[in-house]
Structure 1
Amino acid sequence: MTTQLPTLSVLDLVPVRGDQSSAQALAATLEVARAADALGYHRYWVAEHHNMPAVAATNPPVLLAMIGSATSRIRVGSGGVMLPNHAPLVVAEQFALLEAAFPGRVDLGIGRAPGTDPITSYALRHGAGGVDDQAVTRFPQYVDDVLAMMDTDGVAVSVAGRTQALRATPAADSVAAVWLLGSSDYSARLAAEKGLPYVFAHHFSGDERATADAVRLYRESFRPSELLAEPRTFLTVNASVAEDADEAYRLALPQLLTMLALRTGAPLRPLASVEEAEKVDLGAGQQEIVDAMASRWVIGARDEARRRVADLAARFAVDEVMVNPVAGAHEGTEPGSAPARVDTLRLLAG
């Protein structure tokens, strides 16, 4: 029996393996993006993280310019831009230009979290979005500012008694679609209040109850706007898919160990190879954390993985699932490639 899948999309953190330079990690991401485009995936979003040894997704607009140029039809977007790190006008300008370059294909996903450690966060925000407390407190206003500045008519701004029009780009024909992202109920409430589409970071939390609560809050509180008449959301999930379940788990192990380090405060390192990851001796408590994470990810052979994705979509009543292909690489894999990540997308697509 054929499994009826929801619309499939991709989330990419641009992972960096121990055998890769940043250039090679970017080359691998472009390979994955081209595969997603050819396989019919709907969106390709990249995250914003800073100063992390295993993540090269530091600048979504730069990455999206590369990915948009390397693909032909897939929507490209941020998952997301961490708005308190940046001046709203800069974000509006970046995504107005991306929309001009790839009209009708651009999503601006906006988040409130720092996406990094406190020291790096200070370095990012100093002189741009203000000090941390101010940047976070002003987040709802920053969202409004971005929306207004990207509007094709611009927005009137008054400073010291002088008013003039402010536009993100001189002559926009269309505007990037704006989404609010979050891992708590804060963004769910804000998205509902502003009538914007919303995505809960299920791939990060993995807590089905938290996801269900956030999505329910968003849907029940939603106020229609000029941008959106009805609530719109989808699900994100980590996935490793291979020809058999054992291989899928082996390929997921490097990313599972990275997430273990992140959750336990251990030093972060580039992604290990599958063979290196299998040599790591975990204590009972560590293994319990890894097992719990693995149970919430989509890890398995093709048919079972497709059923899991379809079940998740049905459980949360969404018609789109965004997959973060977390499959690692064996020793000797070409550094500028990511064959297991491509295979995950290929096998899920059918």
Structure 2
Amino acid sequence: MSVLDLVPVRQDQTTGDALAATRSLAQVADRHGYRRYWLAEHHNMPAVAATNPPVLIAMVAAATERIRVGSGGVMLPNHAPLVVAEQFALLEAAHPGRIDLGIGRAPGTDPVTSYALRHGAGGVEADAVARFPQYVDDVISLMSPDGVGIRVGGDVHPLHATPHAVSAPDVWLLGSSDYSARLAAERGLPYVFAHHFSGRGTAAALDLYRTGYTPSAAHPQPRTFLTVNVVVAPTHAEAERLALPNLASMVALRSGGPLAPQLLVEQAEASGIADAHRGLADEMRQRWVVGTPDTVAAQIAALAAEYDVDEVMVHPVAGAVTGTPANRAPAREATLAWLAEAFGQQVA
């Protein structure tokens, strides 16, 4: 079991408060034996502070002891491959054996912000997306101890992401369609389907990945896991209540509504879901795992068996009630603690 964190920002939080809450949540995951802790990349969203995975990874890795820390993921077309390679090579050097580089192809933001990111990196969006497979190869090669050689003016110039690498981060491809499944299979890389976000086509994408897999030296067998939104509470009714703020945020995102910092539970209860969006909310909620510790653990085990994965990455989406300390997310922390306890063991 592992953890995905978007670093949500509530109505009662500053960015600094949200970061402090993430640091505490990661420490809970570390103490309870979760395998890895991944941080997303999203831009220009009032309810999400996960704008820069390498910075967040450095913060979380320094605040924890044993858990693997990584990106879920870096949206590679937004960045120059050398910059990403340099960032993650340094993270691996600082925390050897604990860093994952999850790579995605989506923009992680709105079209205007996407243009600002990609134009600033020296390209245009269409070029960056089209060159994604080459960017993946470049990052992996640059992070390797041997680096790469670039031919300029008839001479070969050595290029390394870091002066003396002795190890490299694990590289995963992420996706919510079959594109990354095919690419991961071709390259012999681990692959993750964004079940928590898409929920459609999971089985088909994983089957495509496994059946088309080409073994690589680093990964002779296909390797994949499942992501899922989770809320755990002492009663099912309380778990459903705690799920409301994130559900309201997702409805606003998917319906083109105004984006704002995440509501508190009481605010989400008072606002409710508009009738026009009730079908959308119900469809999304059906893909979440919400309930008591034992029922959630049973559903997660069933999902793992259904999709034949060795690992499940939970995205704890429980909201906060009025009066919650601004620098903590107690219901998210409790979700991880109760889930670990329900499995009756350290879950790594």
TM bracket (short chain): over 0.9
Q: In the alignment, what sits opposite 2:334?
A: 343
1:204 and 1:54 map into 2 onto residues whose CA distance is: 16
2:74 and 2:281 map into 1 onto residues whose CA distance is: 28
SS of residue in 2 equivalent to 1:204 = coil
Contact 1:48 1:81 in 2 (8 A): yes
- Alignment of 1:294 with 2:281, yes or no, is no
- Alignment of 1:247 with 2:238, yes or no, is yes
- Alignment of 1:163 with 2:163, yes or no, is no
1:322 to 313, 319, 324: 313
- Runs of 4 or more, structure 1, over 4 Å off, are none
Shift of 1:62: 0.2
- Alignment of 1:215 with 2:175, yes or no, is no
Contact 1:16 1:55 in 2 (8 A): yes
2:194 and 2:311 map into 1 onto residues whose CA distance is: 14
User: What's the Cα RMSD here?
Assistant: 0.8
Say if 1:324 and 1:172 are closer, same or farther in 2 by CA, change over 3 A.
Answer: same
Shift of 1:129: 5.2
Counterpart AA for 1:229: P
Q: In the alignment, what sits opposite 1:308?
A: 299
Contact 2:185 2:214 in 1 (8 A): yes
Cα displacement string for residues 164-196 of structure 1 (whole angstroms, at most 9, x for unaligned residues): 111100001110000000000000000000000
1:205 to 177, 182, 198: 198
Shift of 1:292: 1.9
Counterpart AA for 1:267: P
Q: In the alignment, what sits opposite 2:215?
A: 224
Q: In the alignment, what sits opposite 1:265?
A: 256
SS of residue in 2 equivalent to 1:205 = coil
Shift of 1:288: 2.1
* TM-score, normalised relative to structure 1: 0.96
1:127 and 1:288 map into 2 onto residues whose CA distance is: 39
Please show how residues 98-177 of structure 1 align to structure 2 within 5 Å.
98-128=91-121, 130-177=123-170
1:67 to 47, 60, 67: 60
1:239 and 1:206 map into 2 onto residues whose CA distance is: 14
1:75 and 1:281 map into 2 onto residues whose CA distance is: 38
Contact 1:242 1:302 in 2 (8 A): yes
Q: In the alignment, what sits opposite 2:173?
A: 180
| Residue ranges of structure 2 left out of the alignment (5+ in a row) | 342-348
SS of residue in 1 equivalent to 2:65 = coil
Counterpart AA for 1:275: E
1:162 and 1:60 map into 2 onto residues whose CA distance is: 35
SS of residue in 1 equivalent to 2:10 = coil
Which range moved further: 287-296 or 89-98? 287-296
Shift of 1:284: 3.0
Cα displacement string for residues 77-118 of structure 1 (whole angstroms, at most 9, x for unaligned residues): 000000000000000000000000000010000000000001
Cα displacement string for residues 259-281 of structure 1 (whole angstroms, at most 9, x for unaligned residues): 00111110111100000000114
SS of residue in 1 equivalent to 2:8 = coil
SS of residue in 2 equivalent to 1:57 = coil
Contact 1:129 1:135 in 2 (8 A): no
1:189 and 1:129 map into 2 onto residues whose CA distance is: 28
Q: In the alignment, what sits opposite 1:280?
A: 271
Contact 1:85 1:129 in 2 (8 A): no
Contact 1:95 1:176 in 2 (8 A): yes
Q: In the alignment, what sits opposite 1:39?
A: 32
Cα displacement string for residues 252-309 of structure 1 (whole angstroms, at most 9, x for unaligned residues): 1000010001111101111000000001143334222212211210100111000010
Contact 1:43 1:75 in 2 (8 A): yes
Counterpart AA for 2:181: A
Shift of 1:159: 1.7
1:248 and 1:125 map into 2 onto residues whose CA distance is: 40
Contact 1:240 1:341 in 2 (8 A): yes
2:177 and 2:163 map into 1 onto residues whose CA distance is: 36
Q: How many residues matched?
A: 341
Counterpart AA for 1:142: Y
Identity of aligned residues (%): 65
Contact 2:213 2:222 in 1 (8 A): yes
Contact 1:206 1:297 in 2 (8 A): no
Cα displacement string for residues 226-261 of structure 1 (whole angstroms, at most 9, x for unaligned residues): 221010000000001011111111111000010001
Say if 1:127 and 1:286 are closer, same or farther in 2 by CA, change over 3 A.
Answer: closer
Contact 1:313 1:321 in 2 (8 A): yes
1:184 and 1:305 map into 2 onto residues whose CA distance is: 26
Contact 1:244 1:301 in 2 (8 A): yes
Counterpart AA for 2:299: R
